A and B are shown apart, each in its own frame.
Chain A
Amino acid sequence: MNRWNFPDLGIGVGLRTVHFGHILSRRPAVDWFEVLSENFMDTGGHPLWVLDQVAERYPIALHGVSMSIGSTDPLDREYLRKLKSLAARTRARWVSDHLCWTGVAGRNVHDLLPMPYHEEALRHTAARVRQVSEILERPLVLENPSSYVEFASSAMTEWDFLSRLAQEADCGLLLDVNNVYVSSFNHGFDPRVYIDNVPADRVVQYHVAGHTNKGTHILDTHSDHAVAEVWELFRRSCRRTGNVSTLYEWDEDIPDFDVLHAEALKARAYREEPAAPPVRVARGA
């Protein structure tokens, strides 16, 4: 169990527009939904109307892409205010974003850009994480990104940086095992070492996803089934953390809801016994 007693919500999927109709009409037996915060922060229309109904029936966790926690620009207070109010509206169990920066000098390139991993960056990011947690009045949860670039100025590994950041800023971790795999391929490290060195009691959520192998590098496309190696990393990590809320990400060429849900439910076979999720039991409903 993690140190904040965030519950194991079971196996969830991301709430995506193409599935809105299916979810509202069929009420599939999914354990929980992850919601992309930015898609619901500035609309009073259909998406929010759907989200309100989903949040009535299912546990929700918010997942963002624009906090830019590693940037040197000041934190966007307006963004954080809206995020906090969305979290309250959906009774979000936790709020996550990525260890990255998305732009500087007021710009947003809407990508998860990698950071250099050194002492100065660590101090800078830890201070910002603490600020955000204070504003949100809950521990921020940060996800390890997948990356295609490494900086010469880095003085430590990503897992060391992430572990120290989590400790120093007292934040939670969303461990994306596919991202670990993608980055290990792109940067040439052993993904098992990464998994084995993450502070287990800070992991409050998992991501599993598919990717696209280009031969020279792997792109984190979320467009496919997860490969066996990624599931094995997930199994390895679950042995350390115990069962933690797990989410399958599929964002490109999104299949029918049932296909997506079936892919997510594969996680059962890799989680720790007992494999059954705690609340609702899915499949065939």
Chain B
Amino acid sequence: MQEVVVHPGSIDEALASKAARAEIPPERLADVVLPSRTLAPAQRVEIYQRMYLLRMEEALGIDYPALQHFLGPRGFRDLVRDYVASFPSRSYTLNRLGDHLPAFVLTAIGRRHRGFCHDLARLELAMTEVFDAVETPTLSAEAVAAVRAEAWATARLRPIAAFRLLALRYPVNAYVQSLRGRGHRHPRPLRKDGWVAVYRRHYGVHRLELSRPAYRLLSELAAGASLGEAVSVAARRPGRSAAGQTQLYRWFREWMSKGLFMGLEGLEPSTNRL
């Protein structure tokens, strides 16, 4: 019965499919499923079959509303149908059903919008991951203030669990944002580099647009580099000046205030007065 339920075609196609035949040959269906006063056995099984894809579409639509909007109901339904045929749920939860969708989009969407849809799916996946991540404490202002100036170079900042960084090749963050407004004036799906941090604060999911150097610095930190190492990597660009240092300071302040970090490591015990 399962093979019939998950088949994306008509009920007749489903019953005649190889996988379904291995379970029940269609001519023997009436030996397995009883008719009702109003419905033949195949019509009764069809009720379950029809609901399957609707349920998958609903679940993935919750995780990928912007992709659904971009592709339209028809396009999204086709994508879901093909996706769950390749990546059916093997879990008790639908929460992570869409985890392979960004990668799948690369094989399933036509060339013209492939890159845009891929980035859009990556951003929406990051948003659901951040939504569900475990809650971790954030680094307090007092803990930061307690660090002696000379200790900063070796300090490592650990990002909170609900944090993802993305380098994007299409304006998908602006696209997601445009769905929040009423006008629905979406950016066009044309190449445009962008960098975004997705993070959770007070149980709300936020997106922070970054400049390219800010993204590089933050990715170094997130990968475990000390502050000194991260700054030197990020500063490996000609013409970084004193103004650049001020900029770095501003970024840190902003990231701290948004609660992107949970802890400080790599401090000498004597330098960390907490």
Contact = CB atoms under 8 A, between A and B. Distances in A.
A44 B133 contact: yes
B135 A148 contact: no
Contact of A149 (B33, B92, B96): B33
A150 B2 contact: no
B131 A109 contact: no
A111 B48 CA distance: 8
Given A44-B134, A149-B44, A217-B38, A111 B32 contact: no
B89 interface: yes
Closest A-B pairs by Cβ, 9 of them? A44-B134, A66-B92, A216-B38, A46-B203, A43-B132, A148-B47, A79-B92, A150-B34, A108-B89
A253 interface: no
A217 B47 contact: yes
B37 interface: yes
8 contacts: A44-B134, A44-B162, A107-B6, A110-B89, A110-B94, A111-B5, A151-B32, A153-B32
B17 to A, nearest CB: 15
A16 to B, nearest CB: 13
Interface residues of A, number: 35
A250 B47 CA distance: 21
For the complex, would chain A's binding face be called helix, strand, loop or mixed by DSSP majority? loop
Contacts of A150: 33-34, 36, 44
Interface in B9-50: 30-34, 36-39, 41, 43-45, 47-48
Interface in A56-103: 66-67, 76, 79, 103
Interface in A132-177: 148-153
A152 B130 CA distance: 48
Chain B: interface size category: 35 or more
B91 interface: yes
A256 interface: no
Contacts of B204: 46
A41 interface: yes
B253 interface: no
Nearest to A79: B92
A153 B34 CA distance: 9
A274 interface: no
B90 interface: yes
Interface in A30-68: 38, 41-46, 49, 66-67
Contacts of B130: 45
A43 B131 contact: yes
B95 A42 contact: yes
A11 interface: no
Nearest to A41: B93
Nearest to B41: A149
A107 B88 contact: yes
A223 interface: no
Nearest to B204: A46
B197 interface: no
Contact of B135 (A45, A67, A152, A186): A45
B34 A111 contact: no
